[in-house]
Amino acid sequence: MERFLAGDRRALARIISRVEAEGDDGRDYLRTLFPHSGKSHIIGLTGGAGSGKSTLTAALTAEYRRRGKTVGIVAVDPSSPFTHGAILGDRIRMQEHALDPGVYVRSMAGRGALGGLAPTIDSVVAVMDAFGFDYVLIETVGAGQDEVEIAGTALTTVLVNIPGTGDDIQAMKAGILEIADVLVVNKADHPGADILVSQLRALLSLAPHGQRRPPIVKTTATKGEGLEQLAEAIEEHRDYLEQSGEMGKVRQAEARHQVLGIARQMLLERIRHSMPEPELEALVARVAARELDPLSAAEALTGAGRL
């Protein structure tokens, strides 16, 4: 713990593992570290698979390093729903920062969590924040239309779009576009980038009056183009949060999200442990055989938990 606060990266790596394992020692670390967090600017990068999130994360990191800032990165990749194993390949795109003492990259497996994140993401981000990075970047699992969880963790959410993936009705649907604080059109050297920008701009103009309109930034992450503008757009959003008084509201909402999330997990565990496994299996078997409906079974399970 002393080593962590003194800036020892091995201690950071170990503590993240313990927190991710969700054991008692991990919880104790989190309790001790939490008061040191709340200083980093937390940025979430989300977007479809293959939209260039990893490359953009690396390029944005390079921009922050040029500005003399330190960066912690949490890159989430999916776990297998069958074996629970995972291939974590986001570091491949981040090689230029491999030996930079001002950058720390941690790969996380989704471990079955919904929303393109990992179950312990908030805790791991708090650990990185407490370590003292100026920026913590979270790269989500490739997200589609409805993976909006990142907005509950990040202060600034960046949605990465690429040309050629659907008409403007796709973007008009409810969901992921609504959580974007900054919109990126990546792969801007590809045909259709300008059309996508004007489609997004047209959509944003339909937003209700008085609502903040997220800026649209064109980037070509592989060539390092547009990153200065992206970093500026993120700073503008941060200034907006602070000056409008939204920051307090965002932090309040995130704390609520986090507390309820952990409480939900704790209650679920308590319920699961309230009924012995064979009994639970027998209950589930009755539902599978259509002898009992799932609502009544869940009531029996939670009733047995006597909450």
Partner 1 sequence: MTAPTTTKIRVLIAKPGLDGHDRGAKVVARALRDGGCEVIYTGIRQTPEMIAEAALQEDVDVVGLSILSGAHLELFPRVIEEMKKRGLDDVLLFCGGIIPEDDTKALEALGFKAIFRPGTNTQDIVKFVYANAHAHPQN
In whole angstroms, the minimum distance from the beta carbon of 191 to partner 1 comes to 29
Contact 120, 5 (CB under 8 A): no
In whole angstroms, the minimum distance from the beta carbon of 119 to partner 1 comes to 9
Pick 68 or 85: Cβ nearer partner 1: 85
The pair of three-digit structure tokens given for residue 288, joined into one six-digit string: 């599978």
In whole angstroms, the minimum distance from the beta carbon of 18 to partner 1 comes to 6
Pick 14 or 69: Cβ nearer partner 1: 14
Q: How far, CA to CA in Å, does 139 sit from each of 114, 178, 233, 249? A: 14, 18, 18, 24
Strands 156-161 and 41-47: parallel
Pick 107 or 222: Cβ nearer partner 1: 107
Residue of 178, 244, 228 whose CA lies nearest to 208: 178
In whole angstroms, the minimum distance from the beta carbon of 55 to partner 1 comes to 13
Task: Report the SS3 class of residue 305.
Answer: helix
Give Cβ neighbours of residue 219 (< 8 Å, ≥ 6 apart): 56, 59, 184, 185, 186, 188, 225, 226, 227, 229, 230
Binding site for partner 1 (CB under 8 A): 3, 9-11, 13-14, 16-18, 20-27, 79-80, 83-89, 91-92, 95, 98-99, 104-107, 109, 111, 269
Distance of alpha carbon 41 from the chain centroid: 13
Pick 119 or 214: Cβ nearer partner 1: 119
In whole angstroms, the minimum distance from the beta carbon of 138 to partner 1 comes to 16
Pick 79 or 157: Cβ nearer partner 1: 79
The pair of three-digit structure tokens given for residue 225, joined into one six-digit string: 């183009």
